[in-house]
Amino acid sequence: MKTEINPLETSRAEAFSMWMSSPQPMVTLVKTIDVTHLLKAGRKTGIRFNALLCWCICKAASSIEEFFLQPEKLRVGDGTPGMPGHLYRYDKLAVNVIVLNDKGGITMCDVPYSEDISQFNADYLEVTGLAAKTCKSTSLEDAMIIGTSALPHTELDCIVNQYSGRWNNPFLAWGKYRKGLFRTTLPISLQFHHAQMDGIQACRFLNNLQHEINRT
């Protein structure tokens, strides 16, 4: 469910007033994550690496209140007095996945988050499979969407996404993981809207992500 809330009555009041009118309100953090345990979990369960990582992303975000908030700019003709935009709260999460479709292009689809990893994987396979086959993007309107993009074709140090002003969702991207002698690592880029959260929440999320990967 999506509910509009008054940003002045939340802990985001000052940040909202400062950053909603900024031409570039996005912040990007990059952290190298140890994904050794995730590869082992994939071999054990048969679940794809990307599906496991997306589940861990949602799991890590689910304990941070700010990840359920969505700032939006004022629409054309919106006469809301004294406000640079809107702030919405969702009661559930989903992850957006970009898949290569059967026509050779890309298609986006939203996968609902479930604490049950088996249910999440079933939904992941169904939604991404349908998107690849039909070449039609799908979206969930009643969930806060965490964007992702996997580029496993080469090792990347950092990814900084463009900001169009259309989407203010948090966005994570990564390249090919790096196999070492004893561990496998993956630099992950997190981009977020400063009106939604501050660096402290973003850092907490990245630490949570490592924790969830280690216990998967």
What does pLDDT average to in each consecutive run of 10 residues of the chain (216 residues)? 94 94 93 98 97 98 98 73 86 98 97 98 98 96 97 92 82 96 96 97 98 96
User: What is the H or E stretch that residue 149 is in?
Assistant: strand 144-150
User: What is the H or E stretch that residue 60 is in?
Assistant: helix 49-61
Residue 1 corresponds to which tokens in the numbers above? 């469910």
Backbone φ and ψ for 26, nearest 5 degrees, come out as -90, 145
Residue 163 has a pLDDT of 77
42: left (phi over 0), alpha (psi -120 to 50) or beta: alpha
Going from N- to C-terminal start, the domains of the chain cover: 22-72+91-215
- In angstroms, the CA 95 to CA 112 distance is 7
**DSSP 8-state code for residue 126:** H
Q: Please determine, looking at this structure, whether the domain spanning 22-72+91-215 carries the CATH number 3.30.559.10.
A: yes
- In angstroms, the CA 135 to CA 103 distance is 7
Residue 197 corresponds to which tokens in the numbers above? 């959260």
CA distances, 174 to each of 105, 157, 211 (Å): 19, 9, 18
**H-type alpha helices, 110-198:** 117-134
**H-type alpha helices, the chain:** 13-19, 36-45, 49-61, 117-134, 199-215
